[in-house]
Structure 1
Amino acid sequence: MQARLQKGSDHGVKAQGDGWLLTVALIEGTNLAAVDSSGHSDPYVVFTCNGKTRTSSIKFQKSDPLWNEIFEFDAMEDPPSVLDIDVFDFDGPFDEATSLGHAEINFVRTNVADLADVWIPLHGKLAQACQSKLHLRIFLNNTRGNNVVREYLTKMEKEVGKKLNVRSPQTNSAFQKLFGLQPEEFLINDFTCHLKRKMPLQGRLFLSARIIGFHANLFGQKTKFFFLWEDIEDIQVTSPTLSSMGSPIIVITLKPGKGMEARHGAKTQDEEGRLKFHFQSFVSYNAAHRTIMALWKSRSLSPEQKVKIVEEESESRILVSEESGSFLGLEDVSLSEVHNSTLSVPMIFFMNVFEGEDMESRIMEKAGCLNYSYTPWESEKPNIFARQVYFRFDKRVSRYRGEVTSSQQKSQIPEKNGWLVEEVMTLHGVPLGDYFNLHLKYQIEDVPPQSKQCNVRVFFGIEWLKSTKQQKRMSKNILSHLQDRLKVMLAAVEKEYA
């Protein structure tokens, strides 16, 4: 019952199908190894069975963490043989996570009844030195036969329910101020995504009991609008495209003549006056889609009923921390210079890094960017061009192999022989990836009179979307890996020219 009250981040993945269902309750850990000077670690647990993984939340600065989280695996035709358990220390979105220990549950050799409440000793150098253990409750149920465990868990879920995670007054105040809403309007959830008009616009989608709103502040241009749930006529999901970077597209169609205050955010308007809004590249697509559909379907219910439905249907699969992650007011990002060097390469050659040719793909691959793809540059304004970039980090850059969607804009520097390339990056599939966006600015200029040299300056800033106590350490980790990636990238450019 305690575990049901405080579900883990992966619990939204309900076990599906008919067959062998595996349910794991992660209760707590004890004597986990300390890997930093504070005498604590930041542990999280990864369970793997039949190639499927479930990941717990991170417990910051805990050597005896309390989780109380439940994880379910889809039905398997045959009973599983092994459940692998790995405990890692989180040290930033890019760092190679330190192993705090591992264990293995062999279902062939173990009586399942003995796993209903068990302390598992962890193996590994650090774990054995500290005598680390995990407290687990493991149930393996065959739906084609005995349904006792499944029925019991279902019954407990209905009886205990789920407590509403009320947003703080500061969060609701920032949300109300952003959209000019009444004091009684409260934020239910918010998601990083792209709004597709002519070009995808990176921003944030806000969902409350009565409105759906979007806000973006990209390259100094602000976009903001909202419309009512009651104004929506239809919601469809279309297949991913190159421009959506592998993400399904949520298309929201308003009723004729409705939401005209938001028409600057619509992709199209049909002959009958219906506005169509396209949202894509969600960091948490499944959670966003379930939340949107639940709120829309329940638009005739009271706000309290809506919140209850959303809490039941919307659970994010991404790795999250134990912090609430309050939404922050979206302000302009302050950039600071992180690199300044003169390369033995003409500026016109260096710009091939951003021109979408084979050279760009080769250099980015050397910098640890896999499956690198991009859309063509399109003119947004006179002498200003924009495009979208997608890639996946190599494991040596980030053990999470997170995906990246990036909006780039390039323009010529007035009165100088040079270019300005600005970039906003969103990370998908890394811990706390929904908490921040990364802002980069490349300033590339010819070095007169040496036409075969160019000066490259790089500016960097982090746009924090939600609050976290780990902001300082994460900033340090991100900056360190960015500078390493820049060195590899610039060295590769000089090698290509040579």
Structure 2
Amino acid sequence: MERTAVDLEIEVFDFDGPFGPAKSLGHVNLNFLKHTPDELADMWVYLDGNLARSSLSKLHLKIFLDNNNGAKTIREYLAKMENEVGKKLNLRSPHRNSTFQKIFGLPEDEFLIGDFTCSLRRKIPLQGRIFLSPRVMGFYSNLFGHKIRFFFLWEDIDDVLVLPPSFSSVGSPSLVIILRKDLGLDAQHGAKCRDEEGRLRFYFQSFLSFHDASRTIMALWRTRNPDASCKPHTVEEQSGDEKLAAIEDNVVTITGVEDVELSKMYSAELPVEMNSFMELFSGGDFEHRIMERSGCLDYCTTEWVAVSPGAWERSVSYKLDRRISNFGGKVTGTQQKVLNEGGWIVNEVVALQNIPFADYFKVHVRYQIGGSAKTRSDYSCEVHMGILWLKSTKFQQRIGQNVTEKLTRRLRHVLEQFEPDVG
């Protein structure tokens, strides 16, 4: 793939003739990825420099970027990267590419290569996703409306380190991205610290498939930095659980929950303690047994990861049996549980695969679990649901009704299975 321009360095001089010295009036460094094509076509930028700052000098620019590479060149680039990464890389859907570009404000020619669920380690780990493209590496998190996003160029990275599992990294390896000094300052709010050389350091952990993520990141970094391959770098390959690795390819990020209209679909009061009910979200044998009885085959979950005080997040994956869906299919999702006034709120976003119109929507579910007004030993559970439509279809109403009915039926079956086990 041809190297598309990323930066433009401009310096303005005052030149009175061939016998006079050229005097610098100011300079500016323009990053094309941080501006839309419309902005670049007609923009005013302030110049840096003592003289320019004192007089607030501005430069009028009209920049037009022409990219005629097309999908063919993108596929050729992906084929080349497959040899570096050692795994198949698929061209992402237009919707997913558009979402990636919208999140980080990138131009249309910046296409998504891969993304991985992980946590950003600062004072408190923050659950989110890493996004990788030919020119940038970005991180995005949206925890109930609290958003954090940043990206930096591959050329800004000075080194990539791997730290072994530790207690602070929740028992998983960590990937440390170290930027060159004085570069990537727009992303400094995501850095954990600066090292003794003044370089920003970013810590990423809790990857569902650490080996795949680190291998892809290293390959992309070396592509943009030929000298990087000479630097020492050791990656500990982890086989892990094959089921957990399978979740990574289709994991769903909890984004846009606040934009989905939720309707109450179920409520119940059962004579059982709240802690016993929360075993349904524990990841233990009890949860797996109940979910498989309810038609969720090959049920698999990751560990809960703290994302903020009183809030945790995990991923789930399972297959649907024919009682729930005539087409079968697979479900991947992300759950967040939050302490809430003596109870719990569990938000879940799920996506379906291998069924008709699966890529048209995502399902958002919210469980509100709290003590009952009748007795302290009772709990109350309300379930709300909403559908986020990604594409329009004339079957939208029929699909929505079918999903609601099937989900309500499965939930009732879960509660019916629940009582005998805890009684």
Q: TM-score, normalised by structure 1?
A: 0.47
Indicate yes or no: 2:290 matched with 1:363. Answer: yes
Q: Structure 1 residues 332-341 or 202-211, which shifts more?
A: 202-211
- Deviation at 1:227? 0.9
1:166 is displaced (CA, Å) by 11
Determine which structure has greater relative contact order: mean sequence separation of CA pairs < 8 Å that are 6+ residues apart, divided by chain length.
Answer: 1
Find the aligned partners of 2:263 and 2:113 in 1 and give their Cα distance: 31
Give the residue type in structure 2 aligned to 1:388: R
Residue identity opposite 2:318 in structure 1: R
Contact 1:202 1:407 (C-alpha < 8 Å) held by counterparts: no
The corresponding residue for 2:408 is 483
1:251 offset after TM fit, Å?
A: 5.7
Question: 1:179 aligns to what?
Answer: 104
CA distance in 2, matches of 1:254, 1:445: 46
1:388-399 to structure 2, matched below 5 A, reads 388-393=314-319, 395-396=321-322
Cα distance in 2 for partners of 1:290, 1:257 equals 26
Counterparts of 2:377 and 2:417 in 1: how far apart (Å)?
16
1:195 aligns with 2:118: yes
2:148 is matched with 223
Q: What is the CA-CA distance between 1:357 and the residue it aligns to?
A: 5.0
Paired residue for 1:380? 308
Q: Aligned partners of 1:431, 1:462: CA distance in 2, in Å?
A: 16
Higher helix share: 2
1:339 aligns with 2:265: yes
Q: CA–CA distance in 1 between the matches of 2:371 and 2:421?
A: 18
Q: Distance in 2 between matches of 1:431 and 1:225?
A: 35
Say how many residue pairs are matched. Answer: 310
In structure 2, distance between residues paired with 1:291 and 1:470 = 40
* CA offset digits 1:290-348 (Å, max 9, x no partner): 875665344379xxxxxxxxxxxxxxx99x9xxxxxxxx96843141242222332352
When residues 493 and 235 of structure 1 are mapped into structure 2, their CA distance, relative to the original with a 3 A threshold, is same
Q: Which stretches in structure 1 are left out of the alignment for 5+ residues?
A: 17-73, 75-163, 302-316, 321-328
| Superposition map of 1:20-59 within 5 A | none
Change beyond 3 A, Cα 1:438–1:190: farther
User: CA separation in 2, counterparts of 1:262 and 1:251?
Assistant: 15
* Letter of the 1:223 counterpart: I
Structure 2 CA distance for partners of 1:439 and 1:219, relative to 1, 3 Å: farther
Structure with greater proportional strand content: 1
SS at match of 2:221: helix
Residue in 1 aligned with 2:21? none
**TM superposition shift of 1:443:** 0.9
Query: Any residues of structure 2 matched to 1:256-405 within 5 Å, and which?
Result: 256-266=181-191, 270-272=195-197, 273-278=199-204, 295-299=220-224, 332-348=258-274, 349-356=276-283, 358-367=285-294, 368=296, 370-375=298-303, 378=306, 380-381=308-309, 384-393=310-319, 395-396=321-322, 402=330, 404=332
CA distance in 2 between counterparts of 1:244 and 1:437 reads: 31
Distance 2:297 2:169 in 1: 18
Report percent identity of matched pairs. 32
Farther-moved stretch of structure 1 (342-351 vs 467-476):
467-476
What is the Cα-based RMSD across aligned positions, in Å?
A: 5.4
Once the two structures are superposed, what CA deviation does each residue of 1:210-238 show, in whole Å capped at 9, x if it has no partner? 43323232222211111112112345789
Q: Secondary structure at the match of 1:189?
A: coil
Report what 1:409 is aligned to.
Answer: 337
1:458 paired residue number: 383
TM superposition score normalised by structure 2? 0.53
Q: Which residue of 2 aligns with 1:447?
A: 372
1:47-99 deviation line (CA, Å, top 9, x unaligned): xxxxxxxxxxxxxxxxxxxxxxxxxxx9xxxxxxxxxxxxxxxxxxxxxxxxx
Deviation (angstroms), 1:239: 9.9
